[in-house]
């Protein structure tokens, strides 16, 4: 569901200036969706976990994914040897309804080095999409990487995520992805996406 921000809503900080709002495209808008709910219930090709560098599970969405996937996910993750920040690794999904789990390691938000945090966050989205393509996953659902315990402000994270996904979908391998679902859980993230989506995927 893609709708324009309500009139009078506050401007948000984005990587594209107000003069750089991209050309509206129905075909492109149809390939992204916003959903509020539990990512573990989605029967997409791949879900993206907001993992930590150990890849051995944790709280938040990571814990929910490991609980729903069952102990075999932990066993597979143990063999991966962790993952650096800004990168991603892929596993099977076991008891989950999706086919694969992509474990992306977002940055712990550092307001002093905002640009570095943003580069890592953008990299998580791009690397996850590349892994999806490599593994023939055409539908992918992202959790809000870094916007929980890692403290990335939702109003900055949503534009970075949307900008990265738009960049990928319009790029070389973009046609190999049919649908990107942004999964939000908390109100703050719903609001951030509601505001930012019309800037990156303007209504036609
Ligand atoms: P991080 O450590 O990267 O910040 P968290 O798991 O703490 O990861 O939070 C990432 C995001 O996942 C948060 O926006 C949180 O609201 C959301 N979240 C938590 N549980 C779920 C779930 N079951 N499905 C989808 N999103 C979830």
What is residue 3's predicted lDDT score, i.e. its pLDDT? 44
- Please state, in angstroms and rounded to a whole number, the distance separating the CA atoms of residues 105 and 102: 10
Closest by Cα among 131, 120, 196 to 162 = 196
CA angle 87, 23, 157 (to 5 degrees): 35
What is residue 2's predicted lDDT score, i.e. its pLDDT? 44
**23 Cα: distance to centroid of ligand 1 (angstroms):** 31
What is residue 46's predicted lDDT score, i.e. its pLDDT? 99
Mutate which of 41, 50, 117 for ligand 1? The one with the most ligand atoms within 8 Å of its CB, which is: 50
**Which residues are near ligand 1 (CB < 6 Å)?**
38-40, 50, 60-62, 64, 106, 143-150, 183, 185-186, 189
DSSP category for residue 22: P
**20 Cα: distance to centroid of ligand 1 (angstroms):** 30
What is residue 17's predicted lDDT score, i.e. its pLDDT? 52
Low pLDDT (below 50) residues in the chain: 1-12
Specify the ligand 1 atom closest to the Cα of 63.
Answer: 6
Residue whose pair of structure tokens reads 């391998």 in the numeric block: 173
What is residue 22's predicted lDDT score, i.e. its pLDDT? 86
The answer to whether the beta carbons of residues 121 and 163 sit under 8 Å apart is no
**150 Cα: distance to centroid of ligand 1 (angstroms):** 10
DSSP category for residue 149: T
- Please state, in angstroms and rounded to a whole number, the distance separating the CA atoms of residues 97 and 93: 8
What is residue 70's predicted lDDT score, i.e. its pLDDT? 98
What is residue 194's predicted lDDT score, i.e. its pLDDT? 96
The answer to whether the beta carbons of residues 184 and 146 sit under 8 Å apart is no
pLDDT digits (tens, 9 = 90+) for 65-97: 999 999 999 999 999 999 999 999 999 999 999
pLDDT digits (tens, 9 = 90+) for 28-50: 999 999 999 999 999 999 999 99
Q: Which residues on neighbouring strands pair with residue 33, listed in sequence order?
A: 181
Mean pLDDT of the chain: 92
- Answer positive or negative: Cα dihedral of 18, 20, 24, 25: negative
**167 Cα: distance to centroid of ligand 1 (angstroms):** 24
**17 Cα: distance to centroid of ligand 1 (angstroms):** 28
């Amino acid at each position: 569901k893609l709708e324009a921000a309500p009139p009078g809503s506050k401007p948000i900080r984005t990587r594209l200036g107000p003069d750089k709002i991209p050309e509206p495209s129905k075909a492109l808008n149809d390939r992204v969706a916003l959903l509020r709910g539990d990512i573990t219930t989605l029967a997409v090709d791949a879900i993206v976990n907001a993992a930590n560098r150990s890849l051995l599970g944790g709280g938040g969405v990571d814990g929910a994914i490991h609980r729903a996937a069952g102990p075999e996910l932990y066993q597979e993750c143990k063999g991966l040897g962790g993952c650096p920040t800004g990168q991603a690794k892929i596993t099977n999904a076991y008891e989950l309804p999706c086919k694969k789990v992509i474990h992306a390691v977002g940055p712990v938000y550092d307001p002093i080095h905002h640009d570095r945090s943003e580069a890592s966050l953008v990299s998580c989205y791009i690397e996850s999409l590349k892994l999806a393509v490599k593994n023939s996953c055409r539908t992918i659902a992202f959790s809000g990487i870094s916007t929980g315990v890692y403290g990335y402000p939702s109003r900055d994270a949503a534009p970075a995520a949307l900008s990265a996904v738009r960049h990928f979908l319009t790029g070389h391998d973009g046609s190999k992805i049919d649908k990107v679902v942004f999964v939000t859980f908390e109100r703050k993230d719903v609001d951030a996406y509601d505001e930012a989506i019309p800037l990156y995927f303007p209504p036609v």
